[in-house]
Amino acid sequence: MTLVRLGYVAMSVHLKNASPSQTMTFAQFSKLSNREAAIRKLERISRSNLANCLRLLRYNVENDISFFRLSSKLIPLANHPELKDWDFFEPITAELEKIKQFLVKHPQMRVDFHPDHFVLLNSPKAEILIQTLHMLNIHRRLLEGFGLDPTHRCVLHVGGGYQNKEKALEQFIHNWGLTPSYIQSMIMLENDDKVFTVQDTLYLCEKLGIPLVFDLHHHEANNEDIHWEKNWERILATWKNSPLPIKIHISSPRSEKDFRAHADYIDPMGLQRFLEKIKGTVKQIDIMIEAKKKDEALFKLVTDIKEANQYEWVDGSTFIIK
């Protein structure tokens, strides 16, 4: 028996005027003649993003959704080198406290981050690694501000291939040794769709004690052996010391021609085939839906799966496979 929870990414197509990713570019910031006024504007945007984040969390509870990826754009320009003197944290403490109190009341809600592609732990350039560690520290401070243990709350790709995949893997190991332990404990690694396969990512996860977030779509686009089942037990083993259940990512290709791009919705048959293969191997699995239609893709997937009448439903997004 396996409990399955479905989640979605960052924004809702149904909850209006609730973007948690409102932004301000550095070019826009620079055009404002009064720097202090520009910083106050950044702070207003940050507070608005966090207020919308709380609206989304409330919306999720109302819709029986207990797995959610937070936007990594909550605090615009927080990682910009020209704003190192800006203490973004103090002006948002009230908003952080509201989210903290909400999550205390709803401990079943699992939230995490997936920082942007420019967060590269395997970069050979010192300045990029420094920026990466700074950005990850911002995520850590936000998680702590939400009252959460940051352990295994940030998903990263391995990084760039830099024309030499083996060397890039070893660069990750080297840089990991330069990464503070409080950052290391946050990290999960995901196989990607172009460079680092499940086997590549497992190499790092097993060597460094990092959970692997299996992305089925990425595996179908980039693999050494299409039969992911051969590595499933190894993937599960990377989670043995995590306080959180194993999580995976699912998406469907937009088309055969544009295979790597995410479709609006999820192919229910593809998910059901996966579930039949993993049922009983793990007590719980949290599945993050990466689809253009966000929460609508989740709702449609639930409707599609219910038509098959195969599973026992616990609530609007959680079911049991036997």
In this model, does residue 257 exceed pLDDT 90?
no
Q: What is the pLDDT of residue 124?
A: 96
Give the structural domain span for 302: 2-321
In this model, does residue 276 exceed pLDDT 90?
yes
Q: What is the pLDDT of residue 84?
A: 87
Least confident of 43-47, 208-212, 254-258: 254-258
Q: What CATH number does residue 73 fall under?
A: 3.20.20.150
Q: What is the pLDDT of residue 32?
A: 87
Q: What is the pLDDT of residue 308?
A: 82
Contacts of 37 (CB under 8 A, 6+ apart): none
**What mean pLDDT do residues 263-288 have?**
96
In this model, does residue 144 exceed pLDDT 90?
yes
Q: Please report, rounded to a whole number, the percentage of residues in the chain having pLDDT higher than 90.
A: 93
SS (H, E, C) the chain: CEEEEEEEECCCCCCCCCCCCCCCCHHHHHHCCCHHHHHHHHHHHHHHHHHHHHHHHHHHHHCCCCEEECCCCCCCCCCCHHHCCCCCCHHHHHHHHHHHHHHHHCCCCEEEECCCCCCCCCCCCHHHHHHHHHHHHHHHHHHHHCCCCCCCCEEEECCCCCCCHHHHHHHHHHHHCCCCHHHHCCEEEECCCCCCCHHHHHHHHHHHCCCEEEEHHHHHHCCCCCCHHHHHHHHHHCCCCCCCCEEEEECCECCCCCCCCECCCCCHHHHHHHHHHHCCCCCEEEEEECCCCHHHHHHHHHHHHHHHCCCEECCCCEEEEC
Alpha carbons 232 and 238: distance in angstroms, whole number = 10
In this model, does residue 309 exceed pLDDT 90?
no
Averaged confidence pLDDT in the chain: 96
Alpha carbons 194 and 172: distance in angstroms, whole number = 17
**What mean pLDDT do residues 233-240 have?**
98
In this model, does residue 231 exceed pLDDT 90?
yes
Confidence of residue 255 (pLDDT cuts 50, 70, 90): confident
**What mean pLDDT do residues 180-187 have?**
98
Q: What is the pLDDT of residue 177?
A: 97
How many other β-carbons are positioned within 10 Å of the β-carbon of residue 177?
8
Q: What is the pLDDT of residue 205?
A: 98
Backbone angles phi, psi at 42, to 5 degrees: -55, -40
Q: What is the pLDDT of residue 145?
A: 97
**What mean pLDDT do residues 261-283 have?**
95
**What mean pLDDT do residues 220-235 have?**
96
Confidence of residue 31 (pLDDT cuts 50, 70, 90): confident
**What mean pLDDT do residues 113-136 have?**
95
pLDDT digits (tens, 9 = 90+) for 50-109: 999 999 999 999 999 999 999 999 999 999 989 988 999 999 999 999 999 999 999 999
**String of b and e for 84-114 (b: at least 16 CB within 10 Å)?**
eebebeebbeebbebbbebbeeeeebbbbbb
Number of structural domains the chain divides into? 1
Confidence of residue 301 (pLDDT cuts 50, 70, 90): very high
How many other β-carbons are positioned within 10 Å of the β-carbon of residue 116?
11
Q: What is the pLDDT of residue 269?
A: 94
Candidates 273, 268, 251, 265; CA nearest to 307 is: 268
